[in-house]
Structure formats: C-alpha cells, structure tokens
Amino acid sequence: MSLASFDRTQRYVLCFIASALCCASTVTADPLLSPFDSYPMESAIGESAIGRLVAEDKRATESSTTFAEPELGKALPEITDPVQRIMHSVVVVEAKARDGARTMSTFGADRKGTGVVIDSNGLIATAGYIVAEAETVKVTFANGIIDEAEIVAYDDSLGVGLLRTKNFRSTLALELGDSSEIEDQQKALILPGSGEKGALSVTIGKVKAFTGGWEYMLDDAIHTYPPSTDFSGAALLSENAKLLGIGALVSIDIDIDPKVRVPGNIFIPIDALKVVMGELLSQGRSQSSVKPWLGFETKDTKAGVKVGAVYEDAPAANSGIKAGDKIIAVDQMQVTSLKDMYAKIWTEHKPGDKVHLLILRDNQYANVPVDTVDRYEWLKLQDSAQSETKITELVE
C-alpha cells in the first residue's frame, strides 16, 4: 500500500489509526491534528513504523473478544498490517426489506450502512433500522468478498442489529472500549464501511440521554460533531482505536455548551450493547425491548407533547389518535415531555395493556383508550427462530 495513492485527508485518517497503535514509535505527532494542517505523514507511517506496529499489535495473531461459539463459515485470509486490520474490521451492510415491510415508508426497501466486527467469530453489529424487516442481507468485506448474512438479533430498544455471515467470517474484531469513561470534548474517529474515504475526525460533545419521537430513548447516547453523512452503523473509535459506539442518527441539535448547538451524530454506546449481549444472542432481542407500543411519532414543543404522525394499522391510529393532537395526560397523570410520557407508559404497563390518553384537539378534550401491542408483533419480522448461541467470554 503506497501513501501516494491516498489524498491528504485519507492519509490523515491512516495516521490517526497508526498513531493510536504505535506506542513505541519515535515520531512525535498529534494524531488529531486537522487534516487541513501541515503534517509529516510519510515520516509517521513509513515502513519502519508499520514494522513496529505489526510487532506491537497483539491482535495480529488473535482477537481479544469472543462472544459466541456458533457454527462458523470459512475464515478470511489473515492480515498482519495493523492499519489494514482496522480497516477490515468494518464492512458494508446492504439489506432488502421484505414485501409489505412496515418500515419501508421510512427507510425504503433497499438499505445500506456499515457493520462492525465485534468478536473473533465474525459477529457484526450494525444499526437496527438497516436490517429491520429485512428479507435478505449481504455483507461486503474490505477485500471485496461479498457474503450473505443472517440476522442474529434485532433490538429496537437499543437500536442495534447483530449479523453473522454464512460462508465467510472476519476474525479482525475491533477491541471494545469503555464508553462510560468518555469525557466531554474528547476526540474520536468515525470509521464507516467505505473506509478511509468516509472516515471523519470528530469531537464528542456530550454523553447524555437521547429521546426520539418514535417511542425511543437511549441512555448515555454519545453526541459527536461535526456531522458525518456516512454514520449508519459506523464505528466510533477512541484515540487508541477502541470501539466506543455504533452509529445511529444524525442530529441538528448537538449541544457543545448551554449556549451553543451544532449539527452532528448520535452513537449507541458500546457499554449498552455489552449489557444486553447475552439476551440478544440467546433470544434475538433484549428484555427491555418488550414494552407497550402505541405506534405514533410525537415531539416536545413549548406547549407540551404533540403528535406528529401515526402509523397505519397501529394502536394509536386504530384508536382514533391523529396528527396534531396534543397529549395532556397518560392515565390521568399530566405529561409535559416525551421523557415523562415514556416513563409513565413503560414503567407501569406491559404490551397488551390499555393506556388512557387525555388529548386536546380543536380546543376540545377527549379521553382516548389505546390498546398497546409489542411492536415486534406489528413488524413483519422473520418467522424463523434465532439459532441458539452461548456466551463464552468477554475480554475488554
């Protein structure tokens, strides 16, 4: 691999990764220097430096993380170059939704994003909406090999999907970091399946809860800026090349401080995935995803919680809830935010329960009973049971 084949920004990304791995390098460099600033790229990752990287990268011979022991496909060829190993730990995921998929109107029939190899048996994590209701899924590895993949788990509570390829597997897993130790204004790198072309150096603005209007709430969400357009399922890497999160969303409201907000991205913290990994592998979903679902999109406004849209043939629509309705109370308890509403419904009800919403429409109040469901029953997911797997170890 010649440095001459990369443009300035691409070489900067390689330098970021190489610097993260090269503890013994004699080159003094700032791996987070702006790609537009002057930087001696060739001296930082020349042949001698790469040689030291190979010698020091413990993952050159074995991965440190193993989640499961399923029936495995053929291992891909081993790679010793540490920079290339990291590049090969992210893949391109393409999914085609099944006919009549409920999520097709939002995400389309053909979906594409990134997958991240997270254990030495080739387990791949990605954004859940990429593979939700997918009929077929294929994975393209960095070496160009394309393989079919099966969905091991889909979890709409966390917003992740787990995949395993059928014929080949990558053993080049990223080392899992500790997202609980992230500090505000920490530097990081977004690495998508497109590789160095789509990689972006970012700053972590905040780690805090994110509340989405589609009945979604993510504790300890990682907020980064500037925004990446290649964020779906992408890896968020720390300065020492450890995985901190999985790309989920783009946001126009990343707060740097109380007075400054900028566009950016939101990542699912890797620690949250670790907590539910056993449930995902054994059940195909987490226990926290089993919750009452109403089937509408709402938003926080100065006047309170307002319905923005309702899903066809979902509980809210079947109960007569309409876009524009203002939700005043849930079960006679006033709610003034999405967080309040979700807490009331999720903590006091289970799927199938009747939830009473007090709404305001055209200056008139109405009490509307809604028969909730488990969203998985509404979605058109695969009927086949998840294959049985077991956790063997998790080494961080």
Radius of gyration of the chain from its Cα atoms, rounded to whole angstroms? 22
Match 């209007």 to its residue by tokens.
213
pLDDT value at position 14? Answer: 57
- Provide the 10 A C-beta neighbour count for residue 384: 9
CA 275 – CA 359 distance, rounded (Å): 37
Q: Is the pLDDT reported for residue 358 higher than 90?
A: yes
More confident residue, 102 or 83: 102
Q: Decide: 18 and 83 in contact? Cβ < 8 Å.
A: yes
How does pLDDT run across 157-181, given as a tens digit for each residue? Answer: 999 999 999 998 888 899 999 999 9
The structure tokens listed for 12 are 């900067």
pLDDT value at position 315? Answer: 98
**Residue 381 pLDDT grade (very low, low, confident, very high; cuts 50, 70, 90):** confident
Q: Is the pLDDT reported for residue 389 higher than 50?
A: no
How does pLDDT run across 1-44, given as a tens digit for each residue? Answer: 433 444 554 555 555 555 555 443 333 333 333 222 322 222 22
pLDDT value at position 48? Answer: 30
Q: Decide: 174 and 189 in contact? Cβ < 8 Å.
A: no
User: What value does the mean pLDDT take over residues 321-339?
Assistant: 97
The structure tokens listed for 251 are 């946001």
How does pLDDT run across 179-197, given as a tens digit for each residue? Answer: 999 998 999 999 999 988 8
**Residue 72 pLDDT grade (very low, low, confident, very high; cuts 50, 70, 90):** low
In sequence order, the β-bridge partners of residue 186 are 204
Candidates 11, 197, 216, 239; CA nearest to 92 is 197
Q: Of how many residues is the chain composed?
A: 396
The structure tokens listed for 309 are 């849209």
Angle between helical axes of 8-21 and 47-56 (0-180°, round to 10): 40
pLDDT value at position 382? Answer: 65
Class of domain 292-376: mainly beta
Q: Is the pLDDT reported for residue 52 higher than 80?
A: no
| Mean of per-residue pLDDT scores for the chain | 82
CA 130 – CA 114 distance, rounded (Å): 9
CA 169 – CA 331 distance, rounded (Å): 50
The structure tokens listed for 326 are 């203002």
**Total-model pTM:** 0.81
pLDDT value at position 258? Answer: 73
User: What does DSSP assign to residue 124?
Assistant: E
User: What value does the mean pLDDT take over residues 353-367?
Assistant: 97
pLDDT value at position 171? Answer: 81
Our CA angle for 108, 154, 273, nearest 5°, is: 120
Domain ranges across the chain: 1-56, 57-289, 292-376
CA 45 – CA 336 distance, rounded (Å): 54
pLDDT value at position 81? Answer: 76
How do beta strands 373-374 and 160-165 pair?
A: unpaired
In sequence order, the β-bridge partners of residue 391 are 68
Q: Decide: 245 and 236 in contact? Cβ < 8 Å.
A: yes
User: What does DSSP assign to residue 241?
Assistant: S
More confident residue, 259 or 362: 362
Q: Is the pLDDT reported for residue 114 higher than 70?
A: yes
CATH assignment, 57-289: 2.40.10.120
Residues 6+ away with beta carbon under 8 Å from 104? 97, 133
**340 CA to centre of own chain:** 25
Q: Is the pLDDT reported for residue 50 higher than 50?
A: no
CA 281 – CA 284 distance, rounded (Å): 6
pLDDT value at position 245? Answer: 98
pLDDT value at position 71? Answer: 59
Q: What is the DSSP string of 304-328?
A: EEEEEEE-TTSHHHHTT--TTPEEE
Q: Is the pLDDT reported for residue 123 higher than 50?
A: yes
More confident residue, 254 or 47: 254
